[in-house]
Amino acid sequence: MKSLRVLLPLALFAFSTAALAQSDAQKTFDSLKTLAGDWEGPVTVNPPMPEMSDGNNNMHISLRVTSRGHVIVHEMQESGTPLDPAKYDHPVTMLYLNGDQLNLVHYCDAGNRPHMVARKSADGKTVEFDFNDLSGENNYGHMYHSVFTFIDADHHIEDWTYMMPGDKPVHAHFELHRAK
């Protein structure tokens, strides 16, 4: 009986710790859901990659919550371009919870699917996704890192790092405002 009195508090502590971690991931996911809608804004690429642009540095980002609130779909494309996957880039990213872990899978135009896992900043204004693993070929590089920064209800920043072959990073910085 004495061992039960010792084990019960330990089991309750372990359960409450897991529940707390899950609630942090849920809170972060719920914060990202507030970004649902259409966004527009310029992108800055460093180092500059003129071969990757037709001169249009404005992007359109669409975020929507789907699957009864269990998934966020993030789609990006150059502003003013039609949805023509044969001609224009149109990567899709899915964000979802798996237990106490917030995940991101980027369905890249390079033909692969990097998987990243979130960590939230202490101030709650930033969600950072770190590379975990990669599915598919890596002939042309892959998305490696992503950061979402909340400014206010109508503004947010996205930073995406793409790892080129030879481990050469390319950083894209999006300054986005909610499209009206």
pLDDT tens per residue across span 111-160: 999 999 999 788 889 999 999 999 999 999 999 999 999 999 999 999 99
Contact 25, 127 (CB under 8 A): no
pLDDT tens across 76-124, in order? 988 877 776 666 678 999 999 999 999 999 999 899 999 999 997 888 8
pLDDT higher than 50, residue 11 = no
The span from the CA of 30 to the CA of 25, in Å, is: 9
pLDDT higher than 60, residue 35 = yes
Q: 2-178 architecture in CATH?
A: Beta Barrel (2.40)
pLDDT higher than 80, residue 40 = yes
Contact 58, 32 (CB under 8 A): no
pLDDT: is 69 or 85 the higher one? 69
Average pLDDT, the chain: 86
pLDDT higher than 50, residue 18 = no
